[in-house]
Structure 1
Amino acid sequence: MSGERGVDGLSLEEKVGQLLHVGIGNGYGETDAGWPAEETGEVIRDLQPGAVRIYGSHRAGPYAMAEYANRLQEWAAGVDHAIPLLLSADCEYGTVDVVGHGTRAYPSLMGRTVTGDPGLAREVSAAIARDARSMGLSMTHRPVADVHTNPDNPVIGVRSPGTDPATVSRYATAALEGIHDAGALGVAKHFPGHGDTELDSHHDLPHVTDDRERIEEVHLPPFEALIEAGVDCIMTSHVLVDAIDPDRPATLSEPVLSGLLRAELGFEGVVVTDAMMMDAVAENYGVGEAAVRAVAAGADLVLTGYVPHEDLRETRDVLLEAVETGDLPESRIDRSVERILALKERVADGRQVDPIEALEVTGSEAHRSLAREAYERSVTLLTDDGLPIREDDTVLLTGVRGVGALKPHFDRAFGPVVTCSLAPDGTRTGDSKPATVPTADALPTVRDLAAGVDRAVVTTYNREGVPDFQRRMVEAVAGEAPTTVVSLGLPNEFPGLPEVGYLATYLQDRLGLPDPVPDAAGRAIVGVLREPPAVRESLPIGE
């Protein structure tokens, strides 16, 4: 970072600023058109944060997103120390979670695992990182390293590579290697493991009740493997781990961060908090108090989430006050800043990006081809009852998600297609929003429609327990026509369904990402329905 100062040349205010990972998007810090608002420029000039996390799917394409990132970096270049920002986003499925068009989705981590090919998983991860870097995003908050051991887990699901530590270690490491292949920074999450919880830390404070032995045998190995592989950052979880610290969530726990992660596992990189706006922390601690507790515990970058700018200033001011009063030693701040600056040195070439290059990278045929291959190999056929569907068959396409996105693919592949979407595409079915959850009133309709077709396809989605309505919906349709279920989320409902065809896609998480169903995924689904591959004997997770 030529011309910029190291930690010794920074004032206390500038050092504290480097610890802030502020959020922008979803109505915060942006204009109505989705462009960084001038008030965000004021925050960058005033607080001088070390990083900015971009939230929300923007209507802009890759060219505009590159200009968006350049604008943020221009503001950072205008402050006294001129240290570039780390710009980040999740990108678990690709840059589709921040860019509304012109880029593409890739299979979930679990979808990549079921291909049985860590090399392909690495290629996909590298392609996502290249897309992100071309638009100025040097840090992606992935890979997820949680072992999905609890079938009722409402937040991890298909975001995890799998259900056993060996599988998760192998595929999370492949993902990290791909990130590094593209010259980007990876953030493993959610330490020390969010895979065995029954609550979503966005809304509640989950407990991990496993004993220390099980934590060490099941949940820590993926993080140990990633540390061995040189992971850049590790994100904390807002989870109470009773066997280590029953009083404080991991994000605020010195025994978890300084003790377990630093001293025992030997991690020397940057510790990033999960978003402090999440209810698990926000509902139990004040904004500033939580930041001080996290840094005192061992965190380096405090991810605020998308919050009002006054909350950002309060976070900075309370951190400053804690140092000035001696509650937080300045030497502790210095250690974090040294790590953050060292991280920035590795991506210092990314201050400004070329919007034309962003178009070329994200629109490349190589990336399109890779996405198609990855989706084709990730779809898993567990039973082929009612298949194949012939091109002249009349088909009912119904279900709780994806009907509208799948219809054009069905129209091209089959005879007359009757569609009946039982919840508007994009709704978060299962999120306890009665206005968008289908009711039993729809069952007679889909039963009548099924009676008039040759074949039926029903989309299902669940992220934890199997919704009773969906089971009854499948039973109603299957009673009238040969039926195939296309599972868009976790395939947990499979054992409880009648004898129907069953296709697992591992496509969507708790937010319905990627939404709508990507074209590459739609083509892969139709391809299996027309030409069924060999049936798998069991769910291919944990192999």
Structure 2
Amino acid sequence: MNQLRSYRQSRRRFGKLGVVLLIGVCMLLMQSCARPQANETKPSPTAVEQDPLDRQIADMSLEDKVGQMIIAGIDGKVIDPEASKMIKDERIGGIILYGNNISDLQGMVALVNALKQANAGNSVPLLISVDQEGGKVSRMPKSFTAIPSSKKVGATNNPALAEEMGTLLAEELKLTGFNMNFAPVLDVNSNPANPIIGSRSFGSTAELVSRMGMAEMKGIRENGIIPVVKHFPGHGDTSVDSHLELPVVNKTREELAKLEWLPFEAAIEQRTDAIMVAHILYPHLDPDKPASISAAIIGDVLRGKMGYDGVVMTDDLTMGAITKNYGLAEAALDSVQAGSDIVLIAHGYDNALQVRDTLLKSIQENKLSIEQIDKSVRRILSLKQRYQLNDETVPVPDLKDLNARIKAWINKL
């Protein structure tokens, strides 16, 4: 009996010890597995955390980067060898179409598809842009029911109708293969003698233009088209058409802040995707250079005071306001140095290539830094990714439903 009791006590004692030993062995094995071996290398945090956009930009050539910073126009209603080469070889980042590029619905869709197909060898999709405001600035063929002017919509004082306007404009462009619209117009029509804005504006007060403009911008962007608000710092008080001559506005910074800048500040608060800068001389801000090429206005006011970090682009640099007073290539360089990301060269293949070559040369001569170019390219690529752009072709659409909706909306005005 004593021997049996002693055996049971020994088994219990050694059983507990065995459990303790087993736990200890398991812990040692776990530590050994967790401890890196001498020939193992830890993954680089930089490699794991690197932004895919940074990798994409690092893999781009300098020529590819500069190409992304140009939106160019083309000649004619079909793609020609020069346009094809500009897209395929010079890697131009975007194209703008005007009324003289558009014949009918079938022709317009065929042209847009051909532009995208020309870009097939490029991993970055094209911006296919247009001025489709409604009213007198409309590029859509006559098979679309015409959309009235911003002035008529503004007269309703109903932001819901302005948002619907933006939706309808976006759907027109989406159906026909575009992805960027130079709208809404945020100019306050404060000068009755203005020859270029007029009915393109929602009205004569900053409050009305801000409310209606933000609603239109919402309708455009929520339907997959990039809205570009224009014409910063404000084209409403000019008495000269900047397509022909250089307008001069003798307002102080304080005066501009009380009227012209208010709609643009509202757009920045709404995180607007892109802003177009006008060719207007404001002597109190910069006595030598118009807004579109002025560091005092783009850099100090728009980027600095207003804190805007989205895409900034110029109005067409081949307009008379620039070409009659400044060298085209030098103006493009000034604009990029001032803080623009995209220069718009709407007419002339030679002009677009001249600007491209000037920007490339300026980088080599240290007039532009690689860091600044990369920052602009990042903004452009981020914008394209945000809207999930692609170069897929589109079929010729049936407009019956859209035209019926446009007519129903017009009846509400």
Would the aligned equivalents of 2:362 and 2:368 in 1 still touch at CA under 8 Å?
A: yes
Pick aligned residue for 2:169 from 121, 128, 131: 128
Q: Structure 1 residue 350: deviation in Å? A: 3.8
Which digits, 9 at most, give the CA deviation of each residue in 1:6-27, with x for residues without a partner? 2111111111111111112xxx
Would the aligned equivalents of 1:89 and 1:139 in 2 still touch at CA under 8 Å?
A: yes
Are residue 75 (structure 1) and residue 115 (structure 2) matched? no
Would the aligned equivalents of 1:63 and 1:355 in 2 still touch at CA under 8 Å?
A: no
What amino acid does structure 2 have at the position aligned with 1:149? Answer: S
Pick aligned residue for 2:406 from 356, 371, 374: 371
Are residue 186 (structure 1) and residue 233 (structure 2) matched? no
Would the aligned equivalents of 2:157 and 2:208 in 1 still touch at CA under 8 Å?
A: no
1:161 and 1:99 map into 2 onto residues whose CA distance is 21
Q: 1:353-392 residue pairs with structure 2 within 5 A?
A: 353-356=393-396, 359-360=397-398, 363-365=399-401, 367-378=402-413
2:152 and 2:248 map into 1 onto residues whose CA distance is 27
Q: Structure 1 residue 104: deviation in Å? A: 2.5
2:372 and 2:115 map into 1 onto residues whose CA distance is 28
The residue number in structure 2 matching 1:524 is: none
Relative distance call for 1:59 and 1:168 in structure 2 (3 A) is closer
The residue number in structure 2 matching 1:220 is: 261
Q: Structure 1 residue 377: deviation in Å? A: 4.5
What amino acid does structure 2 have at the position aligned with 1:220? Answer: W
The residue number in structure 1 matching 2:371 is: 331
2:94 and 2:135 map into 1 onto residues whose CA distance is 20
What amino acid does structure 1 have at the position aligned with 2:203? Answer: G
Are residue 56 (structure 1) and residue 99 (structure 2) matched? yes
Would the aligned equivalents of 2:67 and 2:356 in 1 still touch at CA under 8 Å?
A: yes
2:225 and 2:281 map into 1 onto residues whose CA distance is 31
Residue 368 of structure 2 aligns to a residue whose secondary structure is coil
| Paired positions, count | 362
Higher Rg: 2
Q: Structure 1 residue 114: deviation in Å? A: 1.0
Would the aligned equivalents of 2:136 and 2:149 in 1 still touch at CA under 8 Å?
A: no
Q: Note the residue ranges of structure 2 that are not aligned, 5 or more in a row.
A: 1-51
What amino acid does structure 1 have at the position aligned with 2:372? Answer: R
The residue number in structure 2 matching 1:198 is: 239
Q: Structure 1 residue 252: deviation in Å? A: 0.6
The residue number in structure 1 matching 2:70 is: 20
2:234 and 2:97 map into 1 onto residues whose CA distance is 24
Which digits, 9 at most, give the CA deviation of each residue in 1:202-226, with x for residues without a partner? 1111111122221001011100111
Q: Structure 1 residue 78: deviation in Å? A: 1.9
- Cα RMSD of the aligned pairs, angstroms, is 2.0
Q: What's the TM-score, normalizing by structure 2?
A: 0.83
The residue number in structure 2 matching 1:261 is: 302
The residue number in structure 2 matching 1:176 is: 217
Would the aligned equivalents of 1:124 and 1:370 in 2 still touch at CA under 8 Å?
A: no
- The percent of aligned pairs where both chains have the same amino acid is 37
The residue number in structure 1 matching 2:58 is: 8
The residue number in structure 2 matching 1:43 is: 86
Runs of 4+ deviating beyond 6 Å? 2-5
Q: Note the residue ranges of structure 1 that are not aligned, 5 or more in a row.
A: 379-543
1:76 and 1:95 map into 2 onto residues whose CA distance is 31
Q: 1:71-110 residue pairs with structure 2 within 5 A?
A: 71-79=114-122, 82-93=123-134, 97-110=138-151
Larger helix fraction of residues? 2
Residue 302 of structure 1 aligns to a residue whose secondary structure is strand
The residue number in structure 1 matching 2:152 is: 111
The residue number in structure 2 matching 1:162 is: 203
Would the aligned equivalents of 1:162 and 1:168 in 2 still touch at CA under 8 Å?
A: yes
Relative distance call for 1:3 and 1:246 in structure 2 (3 A) is closer
1:331 and 1:211 map into 2 onto residues whose CA distance is 33
Q: Structure 1 residue 120: deviation in Å? A: 1.2
What amino acid does structure 2 have at the position aligned with 1:123? Answer: E
Would the aligned equivalents of 1:61 and 1:101 in 2 still touch at CA under 8 Å?
A: yes
The residue number in structure 2 matching 1:277 is: 318
Are residue 138 (structure 1) and residue 174 (structure 2) matched? no
Residue 196 of structure 2 aligns to a residue whose secondary structure is coil
Pick aligned residue for 2:280 from 236, 239, 257: 239
Would the aligned equivalents of 2:116 and 2:393 in 1 still touch at CA under 8 Å?
A: no
Q: Structure 1 residue 237: deviation in Å? A: 0.5
Q: 1:268-347 residue pairs with structure 2 within 5 A?
A: 268-307=309-348, 309-347=349-387
1:96 and 1:352 map into 2 onto residues whose CA distance is 27
What amino acid does structure 2 have at the position aligned with 1:144? Answer: V
The residue number in structure 1 matching 2:392 is: 352
Relative distance call for 1:96 and 1:364 in structure 2 (3 A) is farther
What amino acid does structure 2 have at the position aligned with 1:44? Answer: I
Which digits, 9 at most, give the CA deviation of each residue in 1:108-131, with x for residues without a partner? 111111122210111111111111
Would the aligned equivalents of 1:84 and 1:348 in 2 still touch at CA under 8 Å?
A: no
1:377 and 1:253 map into 2 onto residues whose CA distance is 42
Which digits, 9 at most, give the CA deviation of each residue in 1:417-467, with x for residues without a partner? xxxxxxxxxxxxxxxxxxxxxxxxxxxxxxxxxxxxxxxxxxxxxxxxxxx
What amino acid does structure 2 have at the position aligned with 1:8? Answer: A
Relative distance call for 1:110 and 1:96 in structure 2 (3 A) is closer
What amino acid does structure 1 have at the position aligned with 2:95? Answer: V
2:153 and 2:256 map into 1 onto residues whose CA distance is 25
2:145 and 2:286 map into 1 onto residues whose CA distance is 41
What amino acid does structure 2 have at the position aligned with 1:368? Answer: N
Would the aligned equivalents of 2:145 and 2:407 in 1 still touch at CA under 8 Å?
A: no
Q: Structure 1 residue 99: deviation in Å? A: 3.5
Pick aligned residue for 1:230 from 271, 274, 297: 271
Would the aligned equivalents of 1:112 and 1:121 in 2 still touch at CA under 8 Å?
A: yes
